[in-house]
Structure 1
């Protein structure tokens, strides 16, 4: 990839709407490995793709360690095993999110009921 196709540190932060601290942390925990030139960092298409997957994984509720292990699979084993592991991780996370959704829906129902009871109490005070 020609150097001109790489993103600078500042461009990478802007592209993904992340703070410099976040980007440095992802590099520190070896989720990203930009090319370094002195103090400057340059992010290739590979690093941009990895960042996309990292942020998508965070959105879905995966830990950074889970994401790191999954990304390492590709480096060691290739696409097929990575996809198989991803399916298992996705199924497990879908269960977690479904449980969280049920808990949130129950909390919303309880809060509505309490609010409605309170409204009724106020109306009976008049």
Structure 2
């Protein structure tokens, strides 16, 4: 039995609406070499692969991956369809992001402690001033 490959086509406005992003953002991702729409005159025609890549770009962005990191993963996938290299690279990037977030969380907690101490000192000083 032959598997039917999706021949779905999308306009830039279709993708813009579906992903709730601007057409300018989509053109930017194209300029960065992350998606490759076909052209019919001045019209961009996106296929299912472009749509999936756009979804992955936005997911990566939400998770804190840079466009360069996302592009690197796309390149690895294009070269190694077995995805072993890609998965190892993703695991490395995930660990880096988790470490960065843990450090940021520690920094935020330290700042919150300092702010609470400062707030307590201000309250104490205000009470002292009110009682004089």
TM-score by length of structure 2 reads 0.85
What value does the CA root-mean-square deviation take over the aligned residues?
1.4
Q: Aligned to 2:38, which of 35, 38, 61?
A: 35
3-state SS, counterpart of residue 30 of structure 1: coil
- 1:122 match: 126
TM-fit CA distance, 1:43: 2.0
- 1:54 match: 57
Matches of 2:105 and 2:87, distance apart in 1: 26
TM-fit CA distance, 1:39: 1.3
- 1:77 match: 80
1 or 2, which has the higher helix percentage?
A: 1
Report whether the alignment pairs 1:104 with 2:118: no
- 1:63 match: 66
3-state SS, counterpart of residue 64 of structure 2: coil
TM-score by length of structure 1 reads 0.89
TM-fit CA distance, 1:42: 2.1
3-state SS, counterpart of residue 52 of structure 1: helix
Pairs aligned (count): 124
TM-fit CA distance, 1:68: 0.6
TM-fit CA distance, 1:15: 1.4
Bigger radius of gyration: 2
Structure 1: 4+ residue segments shifted above 6 A: none
